[in-house]
Structure 1
Amino acid sequence: MSNALVELHCHILPGIDDGAKDLDMSMSLIRKELQDGAAGIVFTPHFYYERISVEQFTARRKAAFLQVSAACKAEGLRLAGKMGAEVFYSTALPSLDLRQLAFAGSNYILIEFPTTMHPPGIDETLYAIRAQGYTPILAHVERYPFVTEDPTLLYNWVCDGCLAQINATGLIRDGHTAKWLHKLIEWNLVHILCSDCHHPVKRPPNLAEGFAHLPDKVARRMQRNAIDIYLGDDLRPPEPTKPVYRFGHWV
């Protein structure tokens, strides 16, 4: 797996969230991941504390995972896969059985914030999660207006031990979002690149294309980070730079 790509954020499991609607779509997504060079995938269906219990969620996830595993075996597809979740933020998260939501065999847990508001209690909640021995991975940090408006929030979370993930699409489109992502990367505030794929056409797997939009050194580091996270190893990311607001711009 040393030279392979690893997908840590995707919605490939069938019929469990707003991703693949059935097994046929799941397999289409997996074939594309393999074509891109992915050797490992952490399947991360959405988990919402207010909508479903951890027990119900893990039962549904296991059933969907077994479907995909059997289909891959039947097709002879060589792929390492494990279960995870994209956990929607709630101040109640520290009270849950986080072991069931973290990436299997590791202490990494993928957490998504709302995109419509700056929710209360983030610092305290992330601290409580870290105090239990888990490392939060903050999903697609480019999508949160409150982070764009004040990236020192992200700087503080990274300094405290969180990791940040971005979606490949933001780099590929090469617009305002791409410029912002390159700033975050320059400040060492981004650690992982994922596809967050949902659909073969509308939101496809695009890891290889995303990595092609990164400087070689950054791409190699993020590729290695994803492998280490998949294996449950510790990361030692470079020291972040605190963004400074000058003359109407973050520098």
Structure 2
Amino acid sequence: MSQNLVDLHCHILPGIDDGAKNLDVSMALLNKEIQDGVAGIVFTPHFHYERISVEDFAAKRKAAFLKVAKAARENGLSLAAKMGAEVYFTTALPSLDLSVLAFAKSNYILIEFPTTCHPAGIDETLYGVRQRGYTPILAHVERYPFVAEDPTLLYNWVSEGCLAQINASGLLREGRTAHWLQKLLDWNLVHLLCTDAHSMDPRPPNLAAGYSKLPSSIARRLRRNGIEVYLGNDLVPPEPTKPKYRFGHWV
């Protein structure tokens, strides 16, 4: 796996969330991942505490996972895979069974914030998760307006032990989003690149294309980080730089 790519955030399991609608779509997505050089995947369907219990979610996820695993074997697809979740933010998170929601056989847990507001209780909740022995991975941090308005929020979370993930699509759009992601990378506030794939169109697997937009040194670091997280190893990222606001811009 050392020379391959790992996707730690995708919605490829069929019929469990707003990702793949059926097994055929799942297989098309998996084939595209493999074509891109992906050797390991963590399936991360959405989990909303207010909508489903952890137990019911785990049962649905397992059923979908077994369908995909069986189809992959029958089609001769060679791919390492684990179950995980993209956990929608809730202040109840530290009290949940995090072993079910974390990436299998690891202490990493993918957490998504709302994109429409800055929720209260983030600092306390992330602290509670870390106190339970888990490392939060903050999903697609480029999508949160409150982080764009004040990236020192992200700096604080990373400084306290969280990891940050971005979507490859943000790099491929170029323009403002790609420019912003480059700043986050320069500040060492990004650790992982993933697809967040939902469908073949408009949200396809695109990890190889995303990596091609990065400087080689950063691409190597993020690729290595992805492998370490997949394997459940501890990650020691470089020290982040605190963004400063000068003359109307974050630098």
- In which range does the TM-score fall when normalised by the shorter chain? over 0.9
How far apart in 1 are the matches of 2:198 and 2:114? 18
* One-letter identity of the residue aligned with 2:22: D
Matches of 2:77 and 2:194, distance apart in 1: 21
* Separation (CA, whole Å) in 1 of partners of 2:195 and 2:203: 8
Q: Distance in 2 between matches of 1:235 and 1:41?
A: 18
Aligned to 2:69: 69
Alignment of 1:11-90 (within 5 A): 11-90=11-90
- The letter for the 2-side match of 1:154 is L
Q: Which residue of 1 aligns with 2:206?
A: 206
Percent of counterpart pairs with the same letter? 73
Partner SS, residue 32 of structure 1: helix
Aligned to 1:122: 122
**Alpha-carbon distance in structure 2 between the residues aligned to 1:192 and 1:22:** 28
- How big is each residue's C-alpha offset from its partner over 1:12-70, in whole Å with a ceiling of 9 and x where there is no partner? 00000000000000000000000000000000000000000000000000000000000
CA distance in 2 between partners of 1:145 and 1:184 (Å): 14
Please state whether the residue corresponding to 2:164 is helix, strand or coil: strand
Which amino acid in the other structure matches residue 151 of structure 1?
Answer: P
Question: Alpha carbon RMSD of aligned pairs, Å?
Answer: 0.3
SS in 2 for 1:243: coil
Matches of 1:76 and 1:167 in 2, distance apart?
28
Superposition deviation, residue 201 in structure 1: 1.6
Residues in 2 aligned to 1:58 and 1:214: alpha-carbon distance in whole angstroms:
36
Describe the superposition over 1:155-183 as per-residue Cα deviations: whole angstroms up to 9, x where unpaired.
00000000000000000111100000000
Residue 192 of structure 1 is matched in structure 2 by 192
2-structure distance, mates of 1:237, 1:103: 19
Q: Which letter does structure 2 place at the counterpart of 1:164?
A: A
The corresponding residue for 2:224 is: 224
Q: For structure 2, which runs of at least 5 residues remain unmatched after alignment?
A: none
Aligned counterpart, 1:104: 104
Structure 1 length-normalised TM:
1.00
Take 2:175 and 2:68, find their aligned partners in 1: how far apart are those partners?
35
Deviations 1:170-213 (A, max 9, x none): 00111100000000000000000001000012100000000000
Q: How does 1:229-240 map to 2 (within 5 A)?
A: 229-240=229-240
Q: Which whole-Å deviations, capped at 9, do the CAs of 1:118-148 have from their partners, x for residues lacking one?
A: 0000000000000000000000000000000
User: In the aligned structure 2, how far is the partner of 1:105 from the partner of 1:231?
Assistant: 8
In the aligned structure 2, how far is the partner of 1:33 from the partner of 1:201? 14
Distance in 2 of aligned mates of 1:221 and 1:234: 14
The code of the aligned residue for 2:237 comes to: P
TM-score, normalising length: structure 2: 1.00
1:152 offset after TM fit, Å? 0.1
Matched residues, number: 251
Unaligned segments of structure 1, at least 5 residues: none
For residue 11 of structure 2, give the secondary structure of its aligned residue in structure 1. Answer: coil
Alpha-carbon separation, structure 2, partners of 1:120 and 1:201: 34
| Counterpart-to-counterpart distance in 2, 1:180 and 1:201 | 24
Moved over 2 A (4+): none
Secondary structure of 1:218's partner? helix
Alignment partners' CA distance in 2, 1:30 and 1:175:
29
Secondary structure of 1:223's counterpart equals: helix
Q: Displacement of 1:240 after TM fit?
A: 0.3
Q: Partner amino acid for 1:4? A: N
Deviation track 1:84-137 (CA, whole Å, cap 9, x = no partner) reads 000000000011000000000000000000000000000000000000000000
Which residue type is aligned with residue 96 of structure 1? L
Query: Counterpart of 1:118 in 2: which secondary structure?
Result: coil
